[in-house]
Amino acid sequence: MKRALFYSIPAGLRPLARRLWFLPADMTDLLLNRRPAGVPPRGMIFVGHGDYVKQGEKFLSYFKEYGSLKPNHHVLDVGCGIGRMAVPLTQYLNEEGSYDGFDVVKSGINWCRKNISSTHPNFRFQHVSLHNSLYNTATQTHASTFVFPYDDAAFDFVFLTSVFTHMVADETAAYINQISRVLKPGGTCFATFFLLNEESEKLMDESPTHMNFPYDKGHYRLHSSMVDAANVAYKQDWIEGILAHNQLKIKSVHYGQWCGRKDFFDYQDIVIMSKFDK
């Protein structure tokens, strides 16, 4: 019910609605001085659920253990939001390493530049104005035609946390192509998805209280008929085909709890892949 209400609000007003919803909690945090330094107010955090700091630290541990991220790597954060993953990386990447992130939400980029780049010059953030029915409808420039503003083979490690879960098929295919272009041969991409396969579709049918995707679009399904990018699930075999076509080899898949699994790794499915090493 709360999601449906949020989706009914025009995209341009959703940030304001969020700020108003969390205003009492943010004012309480301010008065009691209980918001940690370097953490944005709750009303500004537009990505994901859970504790901002703990989620960032958890994913950094995943990047290191499962993605072989090293302190001297050149890292690209696609859909960097408001710095939830960047903040812990400031304590891990060394002077030889670097971080670049881009996002469609300008307020998040502004916060990151002010609170992260100001003290970590090797952390760079760019705003890109792309159409997204959840976050930005003010432009008609679509992600399906977007060229990442980085050189070929510029990065050792690319990651996307809850990005493909908010993109439709032509946009996802285009981003996978760009990821392959900017990754170094042998480089790693870490991405989260909602993957549709025999198990997850059966569990969705049996567990209607969990995340579901009732609107069938062929090789992908939508959670909402009101906002197509609200949540998007993909047929796993379609994703595998797009990755292979773009010289990306799956190293491991870690399935999530979203569809009602009893044995799971995290909430969303995690796919770790590498660029073919020529």
Q: What is the pLDDT along the chain (278 residues), one digit of tens a residue?
A: 555 555 566 666 666 666 776 677 767 777 877 777 778 877 777 766 678 889 999 999 999 999 999 999 999 999 999 999 999 999 999 999 999 999 998 999 999 999 999 999 999 999 998 877 666 677 778 899 999 999 999 999 999 999 999 999 999 999 999 999 999 999 999 999 999 999 999 999 888 778 889 999 999 999 988 888 789 999 999 999 999 999 999 999 999 999 999 999 999 999 999 998 86
> Alpha-carbon Rg of the chain, whole angstroms?
18
Is 19 a domain residue? no
Q: Is the dihedral of CA 145, 150, 153, 154 positive or negative?
A: negative
Which tokens belong to 134? 């959840």
Residue 176: give its domain's CATH number.
Answer: 3.40.50.150
Domain assignment present for 1 = no
Domain that holds residue 178: 51-275
Residue 12 inside a domain? The answer is no
Edge-to-edge strand list for the sheet holding 74-78 = 123-127, 98-103, 74-78, 155-160, 183-193, 269-275, 248-254
Residue 30 within any structural domain of the chain: no
35 domain-assigned: no
Supply φ then ψ for residue 106, to 5 degrees.
-65, -35
Counting the structural domains of the chain, the total is 1
**Does residue 27 form part of some domain?**
no
Q: How far is CA 83 from CA 70, 100, 180, 242, 245, in A?
A: 19, 11, 23, 28, 31
In a domain, 128, yes or no: yes
Residue 119 belongs to a domain: yes
